[in-house]
Amino acid sequence: MSILKSSDRLAIGACFASLFACTAAFAELPPVPVPPANPVTEAKRVLGKILFWDEQLSSDNTVSCGTCHQPAFGGGDPLPARNPGVDGAFNTPDDVFGSFGLIRTDAADDFERDVAFALNRQVTARAANPAINSAYATDLFWDGRARSQFVDPETGAVLIASGGALESQAVGPVVSSVEMAHADRDWNQVTQKLRTAGPMALATDVPADMMSAIESAGTYPVLFEEAFGDKAITAARIGMAIATYERTLISDQSPWDRFRAGDAGALTPGQQQGWNFFQATECAICHAPPLFTDNTFRNIGLRPNNQDIGREAVTGSPADRGRFKTASLRNLAGRANLMHTGQFVAVNQVFAFYAGPGAPGNPNRDPILPTAVPPPQVNAITDFIVNGLTDPRVMQEQFPFDRPQLHTESAPLNPQVDHRGDDRDGRLRAAHHRQLPAQRGQLRLQGGA
């Protein structure tokens, strides 16, 4: 178990006492927007942190939100995997490097052979976007389908009129049959599972703030009662708690932030040169400081439009075909891959792409492109972007970016395929447990450790 220093505990209390007054430590980032319908409390934050990192939120106990959004990797996925793209064939030009999800299972939790992935884990069709600093975006996901208006997934009622994109985003993966759910999983199944699951029962090295809340409350119903006033566990409350936690994931202590606050030595001379060069490039238009994204949607011509129509699927406007959210340049030092396709692994590859014509089949490619960084400036700008904009707390997974050790990081995946034979429908049965005991330390994992 990790232990928070007394100074960290004081910092936590000060932050929540002033509702994020101290999140922008060096005053470059604006105050974190918080919708009035979901005010921040410490009980709600810690519940959201527990839910974000609990693999039991998935139907087979192998995937948490944090599985694909790890701070040490810039809030992205440390293990990007290959998705065959629209042609369904692996190792072709339309392949995407997304995130591992679940082995495909039906509503009875029996494995089904997937057309693309067979009995292997499915892979998402886009790379994972960081949750860090996502509180500032109006709409979330690469295509913006997590809207500012948060609608209760169970009742259809509008719970947050605007400013609820984090809540909208948080409830999506939980019922996605690729990411965290068996087929036809509904919210009644999710909430029923949480009523009896021991919070963080699968994890080890649980951070002190999470462990303190778990040891005090004991169960998820009590954690929800402390956060919301009664023991009801609902989809809306799950989304609101996770969103509250994500509003604390504010990265504002990079060398650039310290430099802007008056520490002249925070950036190396080469990084200062890169910062000066960067401001003179067209990169700074879309990747505007201090967030280093304008959170707009643009078609950069990465792939032909017919491979992924992007924003058009949300708005219905042909003008939005192929548009995707502008990613932030913060915390790239740990990122395993870049772009919504995950096809680049280094910033200099991105520079080379932007200088070229882009993929064919993009009649609405953004008019700012192509644009080239002068070759003599590339190294300095790269140093600034990769090292000058990375918050050391993120890379070192220090509060508020600390996290537990996940079960799947230290043990074989659970579930595992039972090779004793196919059932009558040709589906392999899952050898996993469907329920976990309420108390920690009582696990009997089938196929696990």
- The tens digit of pLDDT for each residue in 16-63 reads 544 454 444 566 899 999 999 999 999 999 999 999 999 999 999 999
pTM attached to this predicted model: 0.89
Rg (CA), the chain: 22
Q: Which residues of 79-111 are buried (b: 16+ CB within 10 A; e: fewer)?
A: ebbebbbbeeeeeeebbbbbbbbbbbbeeebbb
Of 217, 245, 243, nearest to 231 (Cα)? 217
One DSSP character per residue, 303-327 reads S-GGG--BTHHHH--GGGTTBEEPP
CA distance 189 to 414: 19
Contact (Cβ atoms closer than 8 angstroms) between residue 168 and residue 150: yes
- Comparing 188 with 410, the larger pLDDT belongs to 188
Please give the share of the chain, as a percent, with pLDDT higher than 70.
86
Superfamily, domain 6-75+131-251+398-417: Cytochrome c-like domain (1.10.760.10)
Kindly report whether the peptide bond that precedes residue 290 is cis, defined as omega within 30 degrees of 0. yes
Name which CATH class applies to 255-390.
mainly alpha
- The tens digit of pLDDT for each residue in 226-275 reads 999 999 999 999 999 999 999 999 999 999 999 999 999 999 999 999 99
* CATH 1.10.760.10 boundaries in the chain: 6-75+131-251+398-417, 255-390
CA distance 302 to 166: 26
CA distance 269 to 255: 12
Query: Does the CA dihedral 316-367-344-139 come out positive or negative?
Result: negative
| Helices marked H in 267-311 | 269-279, 283-286
Contact (Cβ atoms closer than 8 angstroms) between residue 211 and residue 218: no
Contact (Cβ atoms closer than 8 angstroms) between residue 76 and residue 336: yes
